Protein backbone atom coordinates (compact mmCIF):
# COMPACT_ATOMS: atom_id res chain seq x y z
CA UNK A 1 0.00 0.00 0.00
CA UNK A 2 1.43 3.35 -0.99
CA UNK A 3 1.40 6.48 1.18
CA UNK A 4 -1.17 7.97 -1.19
CA UNK A 5 -3.38 4.85 -0.87
CA UNK A 6 -3.27 5.14 2.92
CA UNK A 7 -4.10 8.85 2.80
CA UNK A 8 -7.08 8.07 0.53
CA UNK A 9 -8.23 5.28 2.87
CA UNK A 10 -8.37 7.57 5.89
CA UNK A 11 -9.78 10.48 3.90
CA UNK A 12 -6.98 13.04 3.92
CA UNK A 13 -5.33 15.04 1.16
CA UNK A 14 -1.98 15.74 2.82
CA UNK A 15 0.04 13.59 5.19
CA UNK A 16 0.33 16.27 7.88
CA UNK A 17 -3.36 15.55 8.59
CA UNK A 18 -2.70 11.86 9.31
CA UNK A 19 -2.07 11.78 13.09
CA UNK A 20 -5.24 13.67 14.00
CA UNK A 21 -7.44 11.87 11.45
CA UNK A 22 -6.08 8.43 12.32
CA UNK A 23 -6.62 9.05 16.04
CA UNK A 24 -10.19 10.12 15.27
CA UNK A 25 -10.76 6.84 13.38
CA UNK A 26 -9.12 4.69 16.07
CA UNK A 27 -11.26 6.19 18.83
CA UNK A 28 -14.45 6.12 16.77
CA UNK A 29 -17.32 3.64 16.63
CA UNK A 30 -16.24 2.12 13.30
CA UNK A 31 -12.67 1.18 14.19
CA UNK A 32 -13.24 -2.56 13.59
CA UNK A 33 -14.66 -1.77 10.13
CA UNK A 34 -11.54 0.30 9.47
CA UNK A 35 -9.27 -2.59 10.53
CA UNK A 36 -11.22 -5.00 8.34
CA UNK A 37 -10.91 -2.66 5.35
CA UNK A 38 -7.19 -2.23 5.99
CA UNK A 39 -6.75 -6.00 6.16
CA UNK A 40 -8.16 -6.35 2.63
CA UNK A 41 -5.02 -4.57 1.43
CA UNK A 42 -1.83 -6.45 0.66
CA UNK A 43 -0.12 -5.98 4.04
CA UNK A 44 2.68 -8.01 5.61
CA UNK A 45 1.65 -7.97 9.28
CA UNK A 46 4.90 -9.64 10.33
CA UNK A 47 6.50 -6.19 10.21
CA UNK A 48 5.59 -2.54 10.69
CA UNK A 49 3.98 -1.59 7.39
CA UNK A 50 3.55 2.05 8.52
CA UNK A 51 7.14 2.76 9.62
CA UNK A 52 8.43 3.98 6.26
CA UNK A 53 5.37 6.18 5.70
CA UNK A 54 5.71 7.70 9.15
CA UNK A 55 9.47 8.19 8.99
CA UNK A 56 9.27 9.87 5.59
CA UNK A 57 6.32 12.10 6.39
CA UNK A 58 6.46 12.71 10.16
CA UNK A 59 9.83 11.72 11.64
CA UNK A 60 11.58 14.58 13.43
CA UNK A 61 15.26 13.81 13.00
CA UNK A 62 16.35 17.36 13.88
CA UNK A 63 14.62 18.06 17.18
CA UNK A 64 13.79 14.59 18.53
CA UNK A 65 16.55 12.60 16.75
CA UNK A 66 13.89 10.19 15.49
CA UNK A 67 14.99 7.26 13.40
CA UNK A 68 12.81 4.19 13.38
CA UNK A 69 14.04 0.67 13.99
CA UNK A 70 15.00 -1.09 10.73
CA UNK A 71 13.86 -4.67 10.10
CA UNK A 72 17.38 -6.10 10.53
CA UNK A 73 17.68 -4.62 14.05
CA UNK A 74 14.17 -5.82 14.93
CA UNK A 75 15.14 -9.33 13.84
CA UNK A 76 18.38 -9.23 15.87
CA UNK A 77 16.59 -8.07 19.04
CA UNK A 78 13.89 -10.71 18.53
CA UNK A 79 16.52 -13.45 18.36
CA UNK A 80 18.39 -12.12 21.40
CA UNK A 81 15.27 -11.68 23.52
CA UNK A 82 14.38 -15.36 23.59
CA UNK A 83 10.94 -16.85 24.02
CA UNK A 84 9.46 -14.57 26.66
CA UNK A 85 5.76 -13.89 26.33
CA UNK A 86 5.53 -10.25 27.32
CA UNK A 87 6.96 -7.30 25.38
CA UNK A 88 8.14 -3.95 26.77
CA UNK A 89 9.04 -1.44 24.07
CA UNK A 90 10.28 1.93 25.33
CA UNK A 91 10.76 4.65 22.74
CA UNK A 92 8.34 2.51 20.72
CA UNK A 93 7.88 4.87 17.80
CA UNK A 94 5.44 3.17 15.45
CA UNK A 95 5.88 -0.26 17.05
CA UNK A 96 8.31 -2.09 14.74
CA UNK A 97 10.20 -3.71 17.64
CA UNK A 98 6.97 -4.73 19.42
CA UNK A 99 5.76 -6.38 16.22
CA UNK A 100 9.03 -8.25 15.66
CA UNK A 101 9.18 -9.52 19.25
CA UNK A 102 5.51 -10.41 19.64
CA UNK A 103 4.81 -13.90 20.97
CA UNK A 104 1.15 -13.41 21.81
CA UNK A 105 1.68 -12.13 25.35
CA UNK A 106 1.06 -8.75 26.93
CA UNK A 107 2.52 -5.70 25.15
CA UNK A 108 3.51 -2.43 26.80
CA UNK A 109 4.79 0.40 24.65
CA UNK A 110 5.90 3.88 25.66
CA UNK A 111 6.38 6.76 23.22
CA UNK A 112 6.92 10.52 23.56
CA UNK A 113 5.65 11.61 20.13
CA UNK A 114 1.99 12.52 19.81
CA UNK A 115 2.41 12.12 16.05
CA UNK A 116 3.69 8.52 16.36
CA UNK A 117 1.02 7.49 18.88
CA UNK A 118 -1.84 6.92 16.38
CA UNK A 119 0.39 4.73 14.19
CA UNK A 120 1.54 2.75 17.24
CA UNK A 121 -2.09 2.25 18.28
CA UNK A 122 -2.98 1.22 14.72
CA UNK A 123 -0.19 -1.36 14.70
CA UNK A 124 -1.37 -2.80 18.03
CA UNK A 125 -5.05 -2.71 17.08
CA UNK A 126 -4.83 -4.27 13.64
CA UNK A 127 -2.90 -7.19 15.14
CA UNK A 128 -5.26 -7.57 18.11
CA UNK A 129 -2.50 -7.12 20.70
CA UNK A 130 -3.39 -7.11 24.38
CA UNK A 131 -1.53 -4.34 26.10
CA UNK A 132 -1.00 -0.76 27.10
CA UNK A 133 0.39 2.23 25.29
CA UNK A 134 1.69 5.15 27.31
CA UNK A 135 2.38 8.58 25.87
CA UNK A 136 5.28 9.83 28.00
CA UNK A 137 8.92 10.83 28.06
CA UNK A 138 10.77 7.62 28.91
CA UNK A 139 14.06 9.44 29.51
CA UNK A 140 12.78 11.66 32.30
CA UNK A 141 9.97 9.38 33.46
CA UNK A 142 7.57 12.29 33.39
CA UNK A 143 5.05 13.93 31.20
CA UNK A 144 2.47 11.16 31.09
CA UNK A 145 -0.17 12.83 28.95
CA UNK A 146 -2.35 9.93 28.00
CA UNK A 147 -2.64 6.26 28.79
CA UNK A 148 -4.48 4.02 26.39
CA UNK A 149 -5.44 0.39 26.77
CA UNK A 150 -5.56 -1.61 23.56
CA UNK A 151 -8.02 -4.46 23.77
CA UNK A 152 -7.66 -7.88 22.24
CA UNK A 153 -10.06 -7.88 19.28
CA UNK A 154 -11.42 -11.43 19.23
CA UNK A 155 -13.46 -10.84 16.10
CA UNK A 156 -10.70 -9.15 14.13
CA UNK A 157 -9.80 -11.19 11.05
CA UNK A 158 -6.11 -11.65 10.34
CA UNK A 159 -4.98 -10.96 13.88
CA UNK A 160 -1.65 -12.46 14.94
Q: What is residue 105's predicted lDDT score, i.e. its pLDDT?
A: 85
Mind listing the pLDDT tens digit for each residue in 13-67?
Answer: 998 999 999 999 998 899 999 999 999 998 888 888 887 787 777 666 566 555 6
Neighbours of 76 (CB within 10 A): 13
Burial of 143 (0-12, 13-18, 19+ CB in 10 A): exposed
Domains and CATH numbers, the chain: 3-150 (3.40.50)
0.75 exceeded by the pTM?
Answer: yes
Separation between Cα atoms, residue 90 and residue 69, nearest integer Å? 12
For the segment 90-102, the average pLDDT, to the nearest whole number, is: 90
Sign of CA dihedral 79, 85, 90, 95: positive
With cut-offs at 50, 70 and 90, classify the pLDDT of residue 110: very high
Amino acid sequence: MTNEDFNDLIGIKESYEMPEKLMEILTGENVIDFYEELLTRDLDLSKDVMRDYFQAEHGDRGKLKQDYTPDCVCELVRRLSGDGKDVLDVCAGTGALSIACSTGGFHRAEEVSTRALPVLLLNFGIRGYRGEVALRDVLTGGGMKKFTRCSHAENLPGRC
